[in-house]
Amino acid sequence: MSFEINGTPFSQEPRAGQCLRTFLRELGHFGVKKGCDAGDCGACTVLLDGEPVHSCLIPAFRAEGRAVTTIEGLGSDHGAHPMQQAFLDAQGFQCGFCTAGMILTCASLNQAQRTDLGSALKGNICRCTGYRAIEDALLGKNNVEESVEA
Ligand code: FES
Ligand code: FES
């Protein structure tokens, strides 16, 4: 199977019946988390041709000829992706287990979608319930500066 992963062409056959999440983790992309394993939590979110998907529900062979982006593929040698930086600025994480999936989903949203957080993040659950700071990240709020000033 040939596909693109984080901008780099790659070829490897998945095992029969293997889901995309397990396939990617076995390739070393440990930012793709194993959560519910049932399509409910979004911890395994990756972008498939730019669209967020729950990789635990996607057979690995479905990536054939497509572009997969994991959290390791955001940002560059020059620094964090703007959405990664927004999460840092807003302190939009607690334990961090949901964070990679949250950031990938948020990075895929257009401006109009960012105003409707409930709908935008319906596929991603934060078990720490840190939604206020995640919303702040989407709104570009800097909670680090505010806490220093306080
Ligand atoms: Fe895939 Fe929860 S592990 S949605
Ligand atoms: Fe802990 Fe979201 S920060 S699950």
102: domain CATH number is 1.10.150.120
Ligand 1 neighbour 48 (Cβ under 6 A): no
The answer to whether the beta carbons of residues 58 and 11 sit under 8 Å apart is no
The answer to whether the beta carbons of residues 91 and 143 sit under 8 Å apart is yes
Continuous segment of H or E residues that includes residue 3: strand 2-5
Residues 68 and 117 in one domain: no
Residues 63 and 106 in one domain: no
Q: Of 39, 73, 107, which residue is a domain's last? A: 73
Ligand 2 neighbour 94 (Cβ under 6 A): yes
Ligand 1 neighbour 101 (Cβ under 6 A): no
Residues 57 and 91 in one domain: no
Q: Which two tokens stand for residue 150?
A: 């306080």
Domain hosting residue 52, numbered range:
2-73
Residues 50 and 29 in one domain: yes
Q: What is the ipTM of this complex?
A: 0.98
In a domain, 150, yes or no: no
The answer to whether the beta carbons of residues 58 and 22 sit under 8 Å apart is no
Residues 119 and 139 in one domain: yes
Ligand whose nearest atom lies closest to the CA of 134: 2
Sheet containing 2-5: give its strands across.
Answer: 8-11, 2-5, 67-69, 45-48, 51-54
Ligand whose nearest atom lies closest to the CA of 41: 1
pLDDT higher than 80, residue 147? no
Q: Is 68 helix (H, G, I), strand (E, B) or coil?
A: strand
Distance 90 CA to ligand 2 centre (A): 14
The total number of structural domains in the chain stands at 2
Q: Is 10 helix (H, G, I), strand (E, B) or coil?
A: strand
**DSSP β-bridge partners for residue 67:** 4
User: For 32-81, how does the pLDDT look when each residue is reduced to its tens digit (9 = 90+)?
Assistant: 999 999 999 999 999 999 999 999 999 999 999 999 999 999 988 889 99
